[in-house]
Amino acid sequence: MSSITHFFGQVFSPIFSAIAWLLAFLYGIVPNYAAAIVLLTIIIMGVLTPLTVKSTRSMMAMQKIQPEIKKLQQKYRGPENRQVLNEELMRLYREEGINPLGGCLPMLLQTPFLIVLYQVIKGLANTVPNKAGRLVSEPRYIPHGSKMYANLIHSGGHINSLGLDLSLRPFPISAHGSWVGALPFFGFVIAAVLLQYFQMAQINKRALAAGQQMPSQTQMMQRFLPIVFAYIYLVIPAAVVLYMIVSTIIRIITQDIMFRTGVSDPRRHGLTQAKGPVEIPGSAEEKPAAKPATTTTKQPPTRGGSTKAPKPNPRPQSHPRSRDKRKRRTR
């Protein structure tokens, strides 16, 4: 983690300074560290909301084409058809305008902001030894004339808010004096992880209500990513975890509004859904041409189960030979 932050610290120092300046500006309006972080989170999520809307639409569209994906998987089973299957899946994604990782995009986008805010908070709580060997506060990135800078110098680099030092993390326990003092910090971590699971359950519940199935890849990432973030939350300051808690709540509210208003419907915003099953070249069996119907006269069955040709009609009574026979009989 330290090597990653060191790299970002060198390359993205202007971004750190910009975020720290904005945080110091918000602290000047509301002189509370937690409130300033919440306001900063709202601003950042306002920038990310269009991406959240787009990724949610992509996820809903992904769920709707699951029957077509299963057909392709059934047709191209086996490791020898893996490349062909991937090509067919990518073709289907392109035709439908879907990003297969769109459902996890909001969570993945949080990673750069986590690193940036982590570096900023670390800079705010930065301390250096003075000539007497005592640690004194020396905040980085924020303007020296800001109110936040003066308060950090006065507090010795402690970001005190909500009765906690938000510059600390759950471990080590010795930093809190006891397990009781560390419990609120573990509570922050648990709240952040549970909110992420709730956000994903919100999407899954919506999909099940619509009779759709979540892609297996997305399900795996949904289970795996919160566990990864849980570890990250244990090693970063509580101020950064507070940012994640607020940002997840905002995403939950955003998704609920999208579902209620129909904004998440991909058919209304350029993403199309196949009307019927996807035609796979060579997958349909040729059906024989229908034979022309013929009209037949059904004959009544005779004894023995066989049918005979109909007897010719007898001669009419008016035939000359019939009259001669009648005359001979009368004689």
**For 199-208, how does the pLDDT look when each residue is reduced to its tens digit (9 = 90+)?**
888 877 776 6
Is 316 part of any domain? Answer: no
DSSP 277: P
How far is it, in rounded angstroms, from Cα 85 to Cα 69?
10
Is 127 part of any domain? Answer: yes
Is 287 part of any domain? Answer: no
- Number of domains forming the structure of the chain: 1
Segment (H or E) for 240:
helix 238-261
- Domain enclosing residue 233, as ranges: 2-268
How far is it, in rounded angstroms, from Cα 159 to Cα 167?
6
Is 328 part of any domain? Answer: no
How far is it, in rounded angstroms, from Cα 323 to Cα 326?
5
CA atoms within 13 A on the CB side of 75: 20
Is 330 part of any domain? Answer: no
| The pLDDT of residue 182 is above 50 | yes
Amino acid in position 103: G
Is 313 part of any domain? Answer: no
How far is it, in rounded angstroms, from Cα 189 to Cα 187?
5
Amino acid in position 22: L
Q: Which residue has the higher pLDDT, 118 or 63?
A: 118
Is 173 part of any domain? Answer: yes
Is 324 part of any domain? Answer: no
| The pLDDT of residue 323 is above 80 | no
Which pLDDT band, with edges at 50, 70 and 90, does 296 fall under? very low
19 contacts 41 by C-beta, under 8 angstroms: no
Write down the pLDDT at residue 6. Answer: 63
